[in-house]
Structure 1
């Protein structure tokens, strides 16, 4: 086997690992479906610094909109994120993108005070309590982290979590190994932190 073949196989293996990690994360702590009439789709923002949603947040909006179940009686899409370094809260920027660029005409709520993933989850609780099923949309490993937080904060609501459409095979595949490395480390830290909270309580 020549060097080019070995390199190609190595790259394929890394890409396949990234895909698997994201696929697995997208399903973690969720059900495939629930008997439901209403749903809440929660979109987590990421570090907007300008006057329009950044590339990652635009992708998250599109993933959220394709996650909407049009067969249900009602869906609320909830954008969560404060202003951070931007003059406009990222939740507002994402909502604007959903309406103006993506043509979304459904029900929208914005939560504009959060500065962390924990606050994202904590602050949207009053907005999702009505829903029969809940979807959290972000990069799959980040969404898994948010689901862990919801399970910690409100186990009853965590029981309503179903899969979003934030994983697609081959989508942004060159970035997935990098996101997987970062996301797995972050999840490990999160799980240790939650475990220590449980031991202290």
Structure 2
């Protein structure tokens, strides 16, 4: 599951390209069926983040199954709307920048602990990648995680 990021136009911005690449490299080499669940509505532009991510996945040569959540406007809605799309999955990987993905995993634990038991780490961290964005994303992510109410 790749969580989208605000995209103003109809082509994937830098953050969405990074997140989709991280999603693609998160597949286990021996995985049978490869399925991408792409999340995000049209928060900042006329085309949903999910559709922008899908177009980029096709340009990157992805040939597996793609399921879209084009309605969500928040991370909570991303996870909530993706639940019906991942119910049959053997394993689930939530991909974004590292702390945003952690927030998504925390939300899945709250919504559906039975599905959260299938969570596996995605490959969202790669040394030297998005170097300038990581410190800012880390600060925002830590703030957001600290604001999560206790279970």
Same fold (TM over 0.5): yes
CA distance in 2, matches of 1:122, 1:180: 23
RMSD over aligned Cα atoms: 1.1
Give the structure 1 partner of residue 119 of structure 2: 161
Local SS of the residue matching 1:137: coil
Which residues of structure 2 form unaligned runs of 5+? none
1:93 aligned to 52, 66, 70, which one? Answer: 52
Higher RCO (Cα < 8 Å, 6 or more apart): 1
Structure 1 position 123, deviation (Å): 0.3
Question: What TM-score, normalized to structure 1?
Answer: 0.72
Structure 1 position 178, deviation (Å): 2.1
Which one has the largest radius of gyration? 1
Question: What TM-score, normalized to structure 2?
Answer: 0.95
Contact 1:69 1:75 in 2 (8 A): no
Moved over 6 A (4+): none
2:17 aligned to 58, 76, 86, which one? Answer: 58
Which residues of structure 1 form unaligned runs of 5+? 1-41
Structure 1 position 107, deviation (Å): 1.1
**Structure with greater proportional helix content:** 1
